[in-house]
Amino acid sequence: MNRWAGRLELHWGWLRDWFFIVVSLWILGGRIAGWVEWGFLWDWPAEVVFLGLALYSRWWRWHALAVLQEFARLNPRVHPSEFFEHLHGRLGFLPHRVPAKAARLVDPDRLDFRTGKKPGQSLWLLLRGVYDTFLFATLAYKAFRWKGAKYIGAIGSGLSMVWAARVAQLARMKVSVERTPSLEEAKQAKIIYVLNHTSFFDFCLAPLAYRRENKDGSAKSFTPSIMVAKDHFKDNFFLYRVIGLGRMLEAWGMIFVDRKSKEKGTAERAVRLTVKKLLASSIPFAVYPQGTRARGQRDRYGRRWDAGYFCVGKRDRLNKEEGHFKKGAAYVAVELAAGLVKHRLGGKVFVVPVAMAGPGTACPKGSWKVQTETEVLIKMGEPMPVDSQMKAPDLAQAMDTALQNLLEVRTRLERRFFTDLRELLEPQALEEVSVAFKEWRGRGNLLYAVIDCLYALPKRRWRPLLLELSHALRQENSKEELTKLKEKVANYF
């Protein structure tokens, strides 16, 4: 009963508070107009009573939940159900004690909230996730407001772990994290995480990869500075003010990048600002070099098939050679290594590729429905040492290759391409395509980019484009001719 009362207070208490505020303003207006008499509740003005109740209720609600901030810091592995039981209990009409240690824990590297039911797609799950994100973002922001920027580091890290588990629970996901032993050796260095981007779930689940804990199990301040889109998280009123996610990221010291700015030197300034911040801090840095989510794909039966790797951005980026991978992260890494040498700070810089497979199935770009019973695999690659003498374009290519290898992009695309061609071509023609394909493997990403973009199109486009591509391979077409085919595919978006 107490928890149900807490649920009502959590979900509807704000509506009551705003009702009281509106009533107090209405009474005040009536008093000014002269049609409301003085005196109410022991001669107190009614507007003061209602306004006081609203303000006290808001103050009591968030201070009652303040203990949950510390609970998340001490217990980053707490089961999300237990966290919300304490959250609802704190808002109930009876006293509720939150213990120092959680009773139910989860393994962040092996989360499994699947129920065995048939996968479904629901807008309601997205709305629930948005609402819970608002709760976690507000708790983190309140920690910053009440205790300062240093406090939000550990508190926010704990809350982000619980948030990631909660998102997986709502979507009934299985999330597995694969690490390499060499990651422990690199933790004392400057770390730059580079991740592929397929869904907003990437952002939600990434804390499972970053996590660090003290010996007592409490959360360290591990959440990296993230380079995020200014137009999404700061200029977007809904995400910044209503949900509070952008406001929380700003308090956390994240780096906002203006992707839409055409002003010369914007990218260089962003790199300098990032390097300056990382030199003065021990926290890692995370970036999505693709810059935006890759387009979702479907299999031949119309089911979601995760998202692509090369099919990112608008038409101009799709038509650009190697346009799928921006080089900003590489410039940050090289400049950071140079800064350590210049200022004699010592230490090393490592780039850690983090591949996320599956979020694009849960909710791809352009969809508002979350699919349940999805499996997500987060694979962390070998740390890549960065030298100040490295060339950024070469490092960017190494990052790109590392992510592709972790995701098995080429193997995945080849398998699907030849599976579909078997139904379209005679054995002799298929053999000719196979021989030509082998010759293209060492010529960069162009052929794979064409196939990847092709499968991001509606199914009705596949057959004619597959036949055209297979014909181009059999005719031993040049790189320029294959580039024109890629542009043709891109023009369908």
108 neighbors 77 (Cβ within 8 angstroms): yes
What gap in Å lies between CA 37 and CA 47, rounded to an integer? 12
Is the domain of 38 the same as that of 171? no
- Do 357 and 444 belong together in one domain? no
Contact between 223 and 157 under an 8 Å Cβ cutoff? The reply is yes
Domain identity same for 283 and 400? yes
Q: Answer yes or no: is 432 within a domain.
A: yes
Q: Which domain holds residue 400?
A: 104-151+165-289+325-407
| Orientation angle between helical segments 245-252 and 123-147, nearest 10 degrees | 40
Please tell me whether residues 283 and 431 are part of one structural domain: no
Closest CA relative to residue 247, chosen from 137, 350, 148: 137
Q: For position 42, what pLDDT does the model report?
A: 43
Same domain, 248 and 352: yes
Contact present, 374 and 313 (Cβ < 8 Å)? no
Domain co-membership, 396 together with 448: no
- The SS3 call for residue 59 is helix
Residue 195 maps to a domain: yes
Pairwise CA distance, residues 95 & 83, whole Å: 16
Q: What CA–CA distance (Å, rounded) separates 104 from 106?
A: 7
Question: 193 and 135 in one domain?
Answer: yes
Q: Residue 89 falls within a domain, yes or no? A: no
Both tokens of 251, joined, read: 């308090």
Q: Give bridge partners of residue 219 from the DSSP assignment.
A: 213
Considering the domain architecture, whether residues 248 and 180 belong to the same structural domain is answered as: yes
* Helix residue ranges per DSSP H, 75-148: 80-90, 123-147
| CB-CB contact of 468 with 327 (8 Å) | no
Q: How many domains does the chain have?
A: 3
Q: Are 356 and 202 in contact (CB under 8 A)?
A: yes
- pLDDT tens-digit readout, 123-160: 999 999 999 988 888 888 887 777 777 777 778 889 99
Query: Is 483 part of a structural domain of the chain?
Result: yes
In this structure, is residue 339 part of a structural domain?
A: yes
**159 within 8 A of 69, measured Cβ to Cβ:** yes
Closest CA to 65 of 5, 4, 129, 136: 136
- Please give the Cα distance from 38 to 40 (Å, whole number): 7
169 and 234 co-located in one domain: yes
**pTM attached to this predicted model:** 0.89
Average pLDDT estimate for 280-284: 82
Q: What integer is the mean pLDDT of 385-395?
A: 94
The number of residues in the chain equals 493
**Residues 166-200 pLDDT 10s:** 999 999 999 999 998 888 877 788 999 999 999 99
User: In the prediction, which pLDDT does 470 show?
Assistant: 94
Alpha helix segments (H runs only) across 34-122: 46-64, 66-74, 80-90
